[in-house]
Structure 1
Amino acid sequence: MIVADVVVPHPDEVFVAGEWVAAGDSGEVVSPATGRPVAEVGLPSEKHALAAVQAARDALATWAELPVARRVEICGRFCAAMEARLDDLGTVWAVESGMPVRYSRTLHRFAAVAAWRTLLESAGNVLCDDSRESALGAIVLRREAAGVVAAVIAYNGPLVTVASKVLPALLAGCPVIVKAAVESQLIMRIVADCAAGAGFPAGALSILCGDAELGRTLTAHPAVDMVSLTGGRMAAQAIIEATRHRFARTHLELGGKSPALILDDADPAVVLKTLVPGATSGGGQVCAALSRILVPERRHDEFVALLEQAWEGLVIGDPLDPRTQLGPLASPAVVERTEGFLARAVADGARVVTGGRRPAGFDGGWWFEPTLVTGVARDSDLAQNEVFGPVTAVLTYADPEDGLRLANDTSYGLSASVYTADEAKGVEYARRIRAGSVAVNAFGPALTAPFGGVKGSGWGREAGPEGILEFTELKQILLGGRR
């Protein structure tokens, strides 16, 4: 099948246990830019999910007992194949999700590629045994695979999540069943095709693009030892409920309401350079998006004027056009959710500075302008909850301590940024913000280091060398009887 001049392999099959097998049903891939179908693909069934779990269980001993260097070699071939097809991956992702190719080129090369190269380089050292002495004898500390992993990933960054979640689990020795979003049919077929030629043992990797019911089948399965989710809170609560009876491990990355804390001495040019893409890239459909801009009261009007100019200068258009900075949203549901948040904010007294409607000239598809809102109440829905759409709130604070309180005044704790002319002061403030990742005069996180949330943004870390350890169990081996 050819989509936007890209060959998409095995459109009527699904990737189970390293092989392409006949699909259970079929469905349409709809372009968010036009609202019209662009492809028809095969869909996985419960039968496929059960077969993937059984194959993963059968492969556990084989994959986990391979020398780390051998696992690195196989995963390295997988990553090299994906690197060779980055342009194709970005193109089909634009078609099915609306994420502009301009955005994917940056995200894939500087996040996904950087993440998996770091993992491949560090796995050998991270997973080696450690030795200690005790009064009872020498101790060997050994890292072993946590078991079969179900990795549930979202539509808004599938390749990055493969790099930060799936690769660490594979390198740790865990067979993985990927449950990707239904909106990721095309990109994940290319990813699976790259995996098919890498040399994984049968059962070490399955990739299923299915609905929530398929996810429930996987997460509730007694042979799944660990569930790693990138998604929303309701999905996380369902996973906790499904796994608690068997004490399966969970790793949850649940989004955020990330603040950009602009201190009184911040240089606007430095702020705008990373704050604008940090707040608007991906149409706000980014877990770490800087969706709350916190400014000193005395500089509110100055920054709002600059932000308004920046927001209105963003190029909205065809996601396949390399000039486009913002494309359509992923689905009608995302548009409806965005409109709901905005309507409630305005009803609460907030003011729309710019945006807030469907852009002119777009007759089909699911479009919404990047929207900047000020006068937002601290306890409002828009200030407290994740929109996952292109609406950014501006809030003011009275003094630095009030700014810190405001930055922490949310149930989320995934990411944040601090802008200041004094880096040391920025680091001091970063230490006092409750978030898994804080950038100073930048937008993060860097996926060559571990990333994850606190509070309602979940638990566990992925990416970086430590991300591999998330998918291991630590075993103590005591060597007694020595003289």
Structure 2
Amino acid sequence: MSTPSTVDTTLDRRELFIDGQWVAPANGATTDVIEAATENVLGAAASASASDVDAAVDAARRALPGWRGMAISDRAEVLDWFARELKTRAKATAVLTSRENGMPISLSIGANGYAPSMMVSYYAKLVRESAAEDIRPSAMGKRTVVRHEPVGVVAAITPWNYPQSLAAMKIAPALAAGCTIVLKPSPETALDAYAFADAAHAAGLPAGVLNIVPGGREAGAYLVEHPGVDKVAFTGSTPAGRAIGEVCGRLLRPVTLELGGKSASIVADDADLDHFAAQLAGVSLPNNGQTCHACTRILAPRSRYGEVVDAVTAAVAALQIGDPLDKSTQIGPLVTRAQQLRVLDYIEIGKHTGHQLTVGGDIPDGIDTGWYVAPTVFADVDNSARLAQEEIFGPVLTITPYTDEAEAIAIANDSPYGLGGSVWTSDEEHGLAIADQIYSGTVGVNHYALDFAAPFGGVKASGLGRELGPEGLAPYRRTKSIYL
């Protein structure tokens, strides 16, 4: 087992990025960002107050006419430059993010390093190639011009688990559509958010087009209901999403909500268990289980139930736990002490409610620093149990038996959530047929991975709207019909 890094580096970012400038918070407030593996302070990040949010929204409003009025080709060229600047910072940003939230560097290099640059490039290309308007014939020989206009000033609020990717999923399409944006990142990962500011500054993004104001819940709540905001884009917990949705509903303000999940993997009778076990870490335990779409419920056929339990247990027991900056690490620490305690509480619930603990169940042996939880598997879990119904957001898997395919589908759909899911079978067409019956925004067949060119989002308590793909651009545009 590798041990946590003891790199002694302090990274202070005590200013906000507003109107293209570095601005001290009005009240001088900062928040310490703690390294998940060492429990040491990484650095202090500025913490925005209501007056700082006012300044950021005002800057975005002033910048909106110029940015939305820019020729699409010129706007896309600026975004291409922005993407290049993000790419030059990719490795450093990935390392910093892993230190903040504990994500293994093998995942972070893509998710927090190169993905933002790729998304900005994707949307720059998309708007170059998509028409800003179309002319439709109407009755009696008349015509209607349908124009796609930017929705306006966007408030983006992002969490700590995939801070760079989830911010880029909002920044890239919003800027490509001609919107301006105020980003409020999570205080737990506030330091890495400055990579966007640094890249924007270097790329010559016009002042006020992108503003970054780290802060706590109060700053986020104030931003959501700010009268100068035209749309809200949020990724985070379902309770927070409900509160934001209520505010936006009252204000008749467009909102995109990407929320929690409790996804299921249906292992079919004919599944290749070696392939399933090899994919398990990436599908069910990505980012130490701190992933909204993770397939943490494993549904196994009774005819092969013992095989599945053994395969899952062996795969989880073999995972490398340790320093998130070690390329061989598969399970790093959780983001905070509070998150570690939350997950350990769920494990205790599992132990005291009769579920079969097959591996894990505590803090890993040999590590006494950092917020680690050993990857844990509970078998014989009824789908009505709390472990199967509530989002744990940590490295805890449950295994539930099913009798036939209809029961498997019913169990998969018996959840308040509907974000992800997967089907494992040697017959891909059969897998597609099962996937069609899973009530979820996304499903993988024999794997699960987000695709930049395809929509991502959930149903039920997993949220509203879609991000990524052409569908991810649409929420940042509104249509106007001009009748000729």
TM-score, normalization by structure 2: 0.94
Q: Distance in 2 between matches of 1:189 and 1:306?
A: 42
* 1:160 lines up with 2:165 in the alignment: yes
- C-alpha contact (below 8 Å) 2:45/2:214 kept by paired residues: no
Q: 2:49 matched to 1:42?
A: no
Instruction: Measure, in 2, the Cα distance between the counterparts of 1:98 and 1:466.
Output: 31
Pick one of 338, 347, 355 that aligns with 1:342.
Answer: 347
Question: Do residues 420 (structure 1) and 425 (structure 2) align?
Answer: yes
SS of residue in 1 equivalent to 2:285: helix
Whether the aligned pair in 2 keeps the contact of 1:260 and 1:275 (CA below 8 Å) is no
- Shift in CA distance, 456/127, structure 1 to aligned 2, threshold 3 Å: farther
CA distance in 2, matches of 1:421, 1:214: 50
Could you tell me which amino acid in structure 2 is paired with residue 427 of structure 1? L
C-alpha distance after superposition, 1:97-133 (max 9, x if no partner): 1112112124346754443332222122335211210
Residue aligning to 1:274? 279
CA positional deviation for 1:470: 1.4
Of residues 310-319 and 184-193 in structure 1, the stretch that sits farther from structure 2 once superposed is 184-193
Corresponding residue to 1:178 among 154, 164, 183? 183
> Within 1, Cα distance between the matches of 2:256 and 2:85?
27
Q: TM-score, normalised by structure 1?
A: 0.95
Deviation at 1:235, TM superposition (A): 1.0
| Aligned amino acid, residue 146 of structure 1 | V
**CA apart distance, 1:288:** 0.9
Q: Distance in 1 between matches of 2:137 and 2:100?
A: 56
Aligned counterpart in structure 1 of residue 333 of structure 2, from 328, 334, 340: 328
Aligned residue number for residue 115 of structure 1: 119
| 2:301 maps to 1:299 | no
Q: What is the alpha-carbon distance in structure 1 between the residues aligned to residue 9 and residue 345 of structure 2?
A: 36
Name stretches of at least 5 consecutive residues in structure 2 with no aligned partner.
Answer: 1-5
Residues 419 and 105 (structure 1), Cα distance of their counterparts in 2 relative to 1, 3 Å cut: same
Which amino acid in structure 1 is aligned with residue 394 of structure 2?
G
- 2:447 matched to which residue of 1? 442
Given that 1:6 and 1:88 are in contact with CA atoms closer than 8 Å, whether structure 2 keeps it comes out as no
1:400/1:85 CA distance change after superposition, 3 Å: same
Q: Among all aligned residue pairs of Structure 1 and Structure 2, give the percentage whose two residues are the same amino acid.
A: 37
Aligned to 1:14: 16
Q: Which residue of 94, 99, 118 corresponds with 2:98?
A: 94
Q: CA offsets, 1:36-61, max 9 Å, x none?
A: 21223332222211100111122222
Unaligned stretches of 5+ residues in structure 1: none
Report the CA distance between 1:380 and its aligned residue. Answer: 1.2
| 2:157 matches 1:128 | no
1:232 to 232, 237, 244: 237
Whether the aligned pair in 2 keeps the contact of 1:63 and 1:204 (CA below 8 Å) is: yes
Confirm or deny: 8 A CA contact 2:113 2:164 kept in the other structure.
Answer: no
**8 Å Cα contact 2:83-2:118 kept in structure 1:** no
Cα separation, 2, equivalents of 1:214 and 1:15:
15
Q: Which amino acid aligns with 1:203?
A: G
Check the 8 A contact 2:94/2:113 in 1, yes or no.
Answer: no
Q: Give the C-alpha shift of residue 291 in structure 1.
A: 0.8
Q: Which moved more, 1:100-109 or 1:448-457?
A: 100-109
Query: In 1, distance between residues paired with 2:227 and 2:45?
Result: 30
Letter in 2 for 1:347: H
The answer to whether the Cα contact below 8 Å between 2:421 and 2:443 also exists between their aligned partners in 1 is: yes
Displacement of 1:197 in angstroms is 1.8
Q: Distance in 1 between matches of 2:319 and 2:483?
A: 61
- Contact persistence 1:184–1:209 (CA under 8 A): no
What is the RMSD of the two structures over their aligned residues, measured on CA atoms? Answer: 1.8
CA distance in 2, matches of 1:5, 1:131: 61
**What amino acid maps onto 1:135 in structure 2?**
A
Matched, 1:82 2:86: yes
Tell me how far apart the structure 1 counterparts of residues 104 and 123 of structure 2 sit (CA, whole Å): 27
- 1:180–1:318 Cα change, 3 Å: same
Instruction: Kindly indicate whether residue 374 of structure 2 is the aligned counterpart of residue 401 of structure 1.
Output: no
For residue 32 of structure 1, the aligned residue among 17, 36, 39 is 36
Contact 1:172 1:468 in 2 (8 A): yes
Q: Quick check: 222-231 or 341-350, which moved more?
A: 341-350
Q: Quick one: which amino acid aligns to residue 38 of structure 1?
A: L
State the SS of the aligned residue for 1:131: strand
**Paired residue total:** 476
